[in-house]
Amino acid sequence: MPADSFYMLGHNGQAVAMIPSKDLVIVRLGQTLNGGDWDTARDLGPLVNAFPDNKPEARFLGE
């Protein structure tokens, strides 16, 4: 996970992750009852890594 990542965990596995360096917000609204199959530590990293870094294009003064 990028160093600028932060996330909020909610009731029954709901989550919001924000990664400014990738210009990315991920929202999970599904419920995870009784342990379920969703694991934030395991599942969020590969999902975030599927998106490229948001690198601004180089610009020169006077353009």
Q: How far apart, in whole angstroms, are the C-alpha atoms of residue 8 and residue 16?
A: 5
Q: Residue 38 half-sphere exposure, CB side, CA atoms within 13 Å? A: 15
Query: Bridge partners of 10?
Result: none
Q: What is the pTM of this model?
A: 0.70
Within-domain flag for 57: no
What pLDDT is recorded for position 29? Answer: 86
Residue (of 42, 39, 56, 53) closest to 2 by Cα position: 53
Question: What is the number of domains present in the chain?
Answer: 1
What pLDDT is recorded for position 45? Answer: 86
Q: How far apart, in whole angstroms, are the C-alpha atoms of residue 41 and residue 54?
A: 23
Domain of residue 40, residue span = 6-49
What pLDDT is recorded for position 24? Answer: 93
Mean pLDDT by 10 residues, the chain (63 residues): 88 87 90 72 86 76 67
Within-domain flag for 62: no
